[in-house]
A and B are shown apart, each in its own frame.
Chain A
Amino acid sequence: MAFLPVILWSDVLIWLLFATAAIFGWLSVRNPLWRTAWQRVGRSRAGMASATVLVVFVGVGLLDSIHYRPRLEEAAASAASGTSRQPPAYAVEVLSVLDAILTPLRTRNEKTYSEPLATRAYAKESIESRGADGQLQQSRDYPRLKHGGAHLGTDETQRDADIGQRLLRALALATLLWWALAAATAAGLARAESCTHEEAWRRIWHNESDFAWNAVLATIGVLLLVVLPLAALSFNYHVFGTDKVGQDVFYQVLKSVRTALVIGLVTTLVTLPLAIFLGVLAGYFRGWVDDLIQYLYTTLSSIPGVLLIAAAVLMMQVLIDNHPQWFATAAERADLRLLALCFILGVTSWTGLCRLLRGETLKLRELEYIQAAQAFGVADLRIIGRHILPNLMHIVIIALVMDFSSLVLAEAVLSYVGIGVDPTMISFGTMINNARMELAREPMVWWSLAAAFVFMFTLVLAANLLADAVRDAFDPRIAGSA
């Protein structure tokens, strides 16, 4: 095999979550109550526009969650010639599918900083060159980048024209793709609602369809107009420049997406079971169970979050540093540290949801239909499963989408404080942390920070807007009045 698949724990969890979401989506389509709630989300234009953006982010994150170790070249060559019977050797470096797609971005590193789209480095260096008389000459100039605009050769004056040309081509392609997509959507809608194409087109843009197609199409249009030019330029230039060690910032930003998603999503795997189980237990059985669970979450929530996280992460670091034998590769160590961070974040943040669920269960168990079920002698577990849990789900879903953005923001802060992800793992937090001193440089290095800002802002904003749409659709107080 040309590669050795590596299954990191976070990959497993991410795909597991993906599968769960798919199953849940299928279930909620069959349940009429849920279907109407999701249809309300589908009608929300802000919600659907942000969902489209999030799908792109999740796509990047999923691509970055299939890992493998490539086979080393020499070993492959010797194995092919049959001269050695050695088992094939694989690189220590763990790559993902995204890395493979972005190979040019990943491998074409410069020496140090360079501006976005630059062909020359950011600082002057002494360059040795041969003059006309064949003498070695030393001059101080901005050295030419190894990869940025390398296809231009010595003809750097052509840079602007080249960029313009590529941009134009990408924009034209984006427009073409968008029209094709929009036409296909209209055709699909026309068939589904059995009307003419013109009618379908009108319904889309006059907001008369049952789904916010106009928002989705507009968002896709904007995304295409941004993504295609970026992609077209990124293979020949450093679109967002390079950082201190010469790594492409665009690559780093794309890699950060997965870290943010893992933190935002995997944490809920810890939060939800704890909160649901304990909250329902406390609210349903009351008495000493309630007292005990209340004591537990009051105690946990009385420790200020950051401090508890700091203490727990500190202890985890000691554990990891004292047991280097647990991890085969650096990626595995970073990965486990990421999961430990998720676990810690989850353990410290389930209390709010638990309190909410307990209160709601207390209210529900006094309702007539549950009293009736109890009077019929239905087992407690069955009552909880059939009558209480489904009526709590809207709280859980709202909490889930609301927590995502705050977790992504928390990751950046924690990584800055030094209790976040492994320093070798690319994340928004580590990017900001590395870049914040660079504003003081002369001339200023602003691109790392700007790129991290734009991507993080887009992700969190989209998550916030979707959370609002979901809350509006699922919260009976709001949904009932609207």
Chain B
Amino acid sequence: MLAYLVRRLLYALPILIGVNVITFALFFVVNTPDDMARMQLGVKRVTPEAIDKWKAQRGYDKPLFINDAASGSAVFTDTIFFSKSARMFAGDFGRAEDGRDIAREITSRMGPSLAIALPTFVLGLLVTVSFALMLTFFRASYLDFWGVVLCVAMMSISGLFYIIGGQFLISKLWKLVPISGYGSGLDAWKFVILPVLIGVISGIGSSTRWYRTIFLEEISRDYVRTARAKGLSELVVLFRHVLRNAMIPILTGVVVVIPLLFMGSLLTESFFGIPGLGSYTIDAINAQDFAVVRAMVFIGSVLYIVGLILTDLSYTFVDPRIRFN
């Protein structure tokens, strides 16, 4: 198992390097640091001195890959690629436009993001899987038909409308919970309820349909017929046999996103004013803070790769036939 993990991590390394190179190319080769400086300082009436100063402040005044002026290992380390991109592997993301350390900002913002994303994820999974099981139980009936119609209708509504509608109905009309904001510690609960609720509801449509397809595919197999033939009730068949065997396709889609929960959700957080990583990213996009966006891209990929490894590990728990090799 350990050897397997080490091998997987070694596989992940070239992918991370690839991500790093792609982001580097995107941020420094497509546009030169001069372009970024002009953008930040305003395109018109910008002096070369101002650009140089902006670049020097952020360390963008070095050569891209090879610094001929330096000596020794500094030929490679005293460059933009090394100082801005390669150092991300060590968890050093540099500073944001407002001078704050990005790494520290990220650790402090993970909490609120997780407070929203984790309950949404768990509740959403429970609700959609049970809904899908119910539709499978009543398959080929009117309930199933209208359930699927409801799902298709729900997945045709933009996520924006769920948030706007939910905020309007629950916070403005019924005044049950505050419309947006966040509190510290346990006081946060009343700010968390609404985003979680909306997150769960907006995910019902597509996920339920997806799980229903998986269950229906499973239910037409021979082992299900055998189970029924030996006299098991439909409910037992559904929960003990179909659900368990459907775990592999479900896990494939589910486990990958668990690490990404740390990143929070861009939309929800910005609508509800939650000081998490999602709103951090949005603010960075709007302020055109390149360093923060670069850092988030990198972290996102790391978390995704962790998710892939976790997925493979989780297979062995639900299917003993799968071994690490």
Contact = CB atoms under 8 A, between A and B. Distances in A.
Contacts of A311: 23, 26-27, 293-294, 297
A457 B157 contact: yes
A465 B296 CA distance: 36
Contacts, number: 121
Given A417-B266, A440-B172, A449-B164, A303 B297 contact: yes
A413 B30 contact: no
A322 B36 CA distance: 9
B300 A307 contact: yes
Contact of B293 (A300, A310, A449, A468): A310
A299 interface: yes
Contacts of A460: 156-158
A315 B152 CA distance: 36
A461 interface: yes
B146 to A, nearest CB: 13
Contact of B158 (A322, A413, A419): A413
A312 B270 CA distance: 20
Interface in B153-170: 153, 155-161, 164, 168
B80 interface: no
Most buried by B among A298, A304, A428: A304
A1 interface: no
A436 interface: yes
Given A315-B31, A440-B172, A464 B156 contact: yes
Interface string A293-312: 00110111011101110111
A302 B298 CA distance: 10
Contacts of B260: 304
Interface string A410-425: 0011001111000000
Given A418-B285, A460-B156, A319 B35 contact: yes
Contacts of A439: 164, 168, 172
Interface residues of A, number: 44
Contacts of B38: 322
A465 B148 CA distance: 11
B156 A461 contact: yes
Interface stretch (B12-20, B109-117, B315-323): B12-20
Contacts of A479: none
Contacts of A412: 158, 160
Contacts of A303: 19, 22-23, 297, 300-301, 304
B39 interface: yes
Given A417-B266, A461-B156, A468-B152, A314 B296 contact: no
A303 B18 CA distance: 10
B26 A409 contact: no
Contacts of B296: 307
A326 to B, nearest CB: 14
Contacts of B305: 302
Contact of A299 (B18, B36, B39, B308): B18
B267 interface: yes
Contacts of A239: none
Contacts of A295: 14-15, 18
Given A464-B152, A468-B152, A302 B19 contact: yes
A304 B300 contact: yes
20 contacts: A295-B14, A295-B18, A298-B15, A299-B18, A302-B19, A303-B304, A308-B297, A310-B293, A311-B26, A311-B293, A312-B26, A318-B35, A322-B38, A416-B160, A432-B160, A436-B160, A457-B156, A457-B157, A464-B152, A464-B156
Interface of B: 14-15, 18-19, 22-23, 26-27, 30-31, 35-36, 38-39, 43, 152-153, 155-161, 164, 168, 172, 260, 263, 266-267, 270, 281-282, 285-286, 288, 290, 293-294, 296-297, 300-301, 304-305, 308
